Structures are given as structure tokens and as C-alpha cells.
């Protein structure tokens, strides 16, 4: 189940957390997570508005999309060369790590205020 919350003028998904209580749940959790992630990604990219992205942001989007299509959890930032976590790893983590990551899908719920300041959501990811 994916819910959407309104932030600024763009919809940002809100994800319920997964908890397993039985052996059967634990065995199916990996399969269910992958299926749920693919559904999440499909819904998430429905809000995609490429006209709103700058050339730099479009390059980042393309690098992220390539990583996701290959099933990678991270990709190298085309501008800085730094490793960046994708939405996929954030989804599988099921919580905000508190680092105000570019592809955070939890609205920086654990990030300190000083990291949140100046961030803007561009329909796909957070930018400075």
C-alpha cells in the first residue's frame, strides 16, 4: 500500500513499514519487497515531469534510472563521482537514515533540521 502526502506542490509517497511475525512471512518478505518496490517505482515515476528538471538534474535522473533498471542499489554521481544510494535501497531499508539523502522517500523524517534546510523536491529527488 502506497500513500501520498502533499509537500510543496509535488506528491511524495509515504510508505508503511514492513513487519513480519511468522516464518512464512519471513520467507516471502524478499519476494514481496521486490514486487512492492517495482510497484512503488512505477507509481513514483508517474509524477515525472522532465520539463521541470535542469540539464544537471536530468543527467542525475538518467544515471539513477540506469542503476534501477540494472537492479543496483547505488550509482556514481555523474558530476562529483561520489556514490549515491538509489530509491531502491531506501525502500528496502524501510526508514530514513537521517543523512538527507538525494533519493530519500521518507521526507527526511530522521534528518536534523540543518540538513533539511535548502532542500527542494523536483518531482523525482531532492536537490540543494
pLDDT, tens digit, 9 for 90 and up, residues 83-94: 999 999 999 999
Flag whether pLDDT at 41 surpasses 70. Answer: yes
Mean pLDDT across the stretch 55-71? 94
* Cα gap 119→68, rounded to integer Å: 23
Q: What is residue 110's three-state secondary structure?
A: coil
How many CB atoms are located within 10 Å of the residue 93 CB? Answer: 13
β-strand partners of 75: 84
Query: To which residue does cell 535542469 refer?
Result: 54
Out of 1-15, 18-32, 83-97, 98-112, least confident range: 1-15
Mean pLDDT across the stretch 10-24? 59
- Name which residue leads in pLDDT, 78 or 1: 78
The domain in which residue 115 lies consists of: 3-127
96, 38, 86, 42: which is closest to 60 by C-alpha?
86
Into how many domains does the chain fold? 1
The pTM of the full predicted model, rounded to 2 decimals, is 0.74
Task: Show Cβ contacts of residue 27 under 8 Å, excluding neighbours closer than 6 positions.
Answer: none
Q: Are 88 and 101 in contact (CB under 8 A)?
A: no
Query: To which residue does cell 513487519 refer?
Result: 19
Length of the chain, in residues: 128
- Name which residue leads in pLDDT, 8 or 66: 66
Out of 20-29, 91-100, 103-112, least confident range: 20-29
Measure the N-to-C terminal CA separation of the chain; round to a whole number of Å: 30
In 40-115, where do the E strands start and end? 74-76, 83-85
Amino acid at each position: 500500500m502506497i500513500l501520498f502526502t502533499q509537500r510543496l506542490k509535488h506528491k511524495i509517497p509515504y510508505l508503511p513499514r514492513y513487519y513480519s511475525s511468522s516464518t512464512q512471512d519471513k520467507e516471502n518478505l524478499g519476494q514481496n519487497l521486490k514486487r512492492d518496490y517495482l510497484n512503488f517505482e512505477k507509481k513514483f515515476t508517474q509524477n515525472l515531469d522532465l520539463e521541470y528538471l535542469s540539464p544537471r538534474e536530468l543527467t542525475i535522473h538518467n544515471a539513477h534510472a540506469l542503476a534501477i533498471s540494472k537492479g543496483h542499489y547505488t550509482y556514481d554521481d555523474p558530476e562529483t563521482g561520489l556514490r549515491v544510494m538509489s530509491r531502491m535501497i531506501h525502500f528496502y531499508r524501510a526508514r530514513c537514515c537521517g543523512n538527507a539523502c538525494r533519493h530519500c522517500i521518507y521526507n527526511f523524517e530522521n534528518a536534523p533540521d540543518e540538513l533539511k534546510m535548502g532542500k527542494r523536491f523536483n518531482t523525482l529527488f531532492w536537490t540543494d
